[in-house]
Chains A and B, each alone.
Chain A
Amino acid sequence: MDQRRITVVVNGQQFAETVNVRTTLADFLRHQLRLTGTHLGCEHGVCGACTVLLDGRSVRSCLMLAVQADKHEIATVEGLAGSDGALHPLQQAFADHHGLQCGFCTPGMLTTLVEFLRDNPDPSELDVRIAISGNLCRCTGYQSIVTATLDAAKRMRAERTA
């Protein structure tokens, strides 16, 4: 079995690990680092549940090999809340607006939207809908997710100007 030694920074913490070259980044995060917040739905890049941030950009971790993450920085849903457990404004808005029911899609929604709101602090409703067009949710009908995102954007703008 072809294996490689990789070093990655995940949520600010450095890891040096040996990986099978065919292991996807998603399986590496879940099984090797035990960060099971990243969910796997379809494993072929359609559902968006496995979205993580690679050097700040949202990517599908099922469509990347762990070995490709060598010397890169990854942020998963586990890294969103502060070290004191305080929720990220987006997480808080999801909680306040029932932006989740079963929660399966939530990690992918959050990581996708963190990047999106960083680039688009004042989005329209349509912008938000397009941003999450690559994330499937079977519970909410998306409405509450869109509401939560717009509210989070508002809170984050207020925080920035405060």
Chain B
Amino acid sequence: MKPPPFQYHTPETIEQVVSLLTSLENNRLLAGGQSLMPMLNMRYVMPDHIIDLNRVAGLSSITLAGSELVIGAMTRQRDIEFSREIESRCPVITEAIKYVGHRQTRNRGTIGGSLCHLDPSAELVTLCALHDATVSAVGPNGIRDIAFADFPVGYMTTALQPDECLTHIRIPLWPQSHGYGFVEFARRHGDFAIVSAAALLELDPTSTIKRVSIALGGVGYAPLRVREIETGLVGKKASSELWPEAAQACSKIQALEDVHASSSYRRRLAVAMARRALQAAGERALANSSRH
């Protein structure tokens, strides 16, 4: 249970990171280390080179830029959890991030690390899918923007090239009056979610649903946007009777099967989690629209 031998590199600029990625064989980027370090300790990975991103300048920031929230890849999950700006403009992140690991792992863990690790049940991955986020990566040919829908390409595998490094995540903001909900089912607090659901809901002044986004985590290698719910709800009047019926669409999804749960159990959980997320989003949207 000790890391294997490796060469250690501490670049200070993103250009140095890219040049190390290009020149070193069998390398691994070390961000917050909350997934890579266990994998090193258990020797699931045996890199020859560790490129530590913790001393690279300019990768840790939370900025509201127009209608977007821009988060640097090395921003600690804890700083996201306690960001006032995120809480006021994108509260679903504040609600969901409390489920990411534990206090001690959020103190080190980063958003970029979580996205690149791409665990099927990772909350931050689900949130990026929910928001149609865009991620920016830097490689030898400069900056490349990747729509989050194209980011996961397989089980724990991203669209990043071996010589690319994630630098920023751009999250489009919803109108201030939107409703949101995030729920997940895990055996214990802080455990990997078996199924999670996140929902955003926007109403017009007559409480008619204008836009919905709903994403499920833990059901496949990548988060699943349930388009049937999203298109089916638009144009309907928001009410508490609507959500259980809409959530039934999740009973038809493809769900993975593993040691934690069978696929049929995951489907049942997906229906329940989707219902609760929509319910929370609906209640909040209705409360917000009556206030505005």
Give the interface of A toward B (CB within 8 A): 1-2, 4, 21-22, 24, 27, 43-45, 48, 51, 54, 57-60, 62-65, 67-68, 112, 115-116, 129-131, 133-134
CB < 8 Å neighbour of A63 from B6, B7, B105, B189:
B105
Nearest A-chain residue to B38, judged by Cβ: A44
Is the Cβ of A60 less than 8 Å from the Cβ of B41? no
Q: Which residues of chain A are near B259, meaning CB under 8 Å?
A: none
The verdict on A60 contacting B104 (CB below 8 Å), with A2-B6, A134-B190 known, is: yes
Nearest B-chain residue to A42, judged by Cβ: B1
Is the Cβ of A58 less than 8 Å from the Cβ of B103? yes
Nearest A-chain residue to B42, judged by Cβ: A44
Is the Cβ of A59 less than 8 Å from the Cβ of B104? yes
Tell me whether B279 is interfacial, beta carbon within 8 Å.
no
Tell me whether B19 is interfacial, beta carbon within 8 Å.
no
Is the Cβ of A4 less than 8 Å from the Cβ of B8? yes
Q: How many residues of B contact A (CB 8 A)?
A: 29
Give the interface of B toward A (CB within 8 A): 1-8, 33-34, 37-38, 40-42, 50, 52, 54, 78, 101-105, 107-108, 188-190
- B43 to nearest A CB, angstroms? 11
Cα(A43)–Cα(B105), bound, Å:
13
CB < 8 Å neighbour of A22 from B5, B105, B188, B189:
B5
Nearest A-chain residue to B78, judged by Cβ: A57
Cα(A5)–Cα(B190), bound, Å:
36
**New contact pairs (6) apart from A45-B38, A58-B107, A133-B102, CB-CB < 8 Å:** A22-B6, A22-B8, A43-B41, A62-B37, A62-B41, A115-B103
Q: Which residues of chain B are near A43, meaning CB under 8 Å?
A: 1-2, 41
Is the Cβ of B37 less than 8 Å from the Cβ of A64? yes
Q: Which residues of chain A are near B42, meaning CB under 8 Å?
A: 44
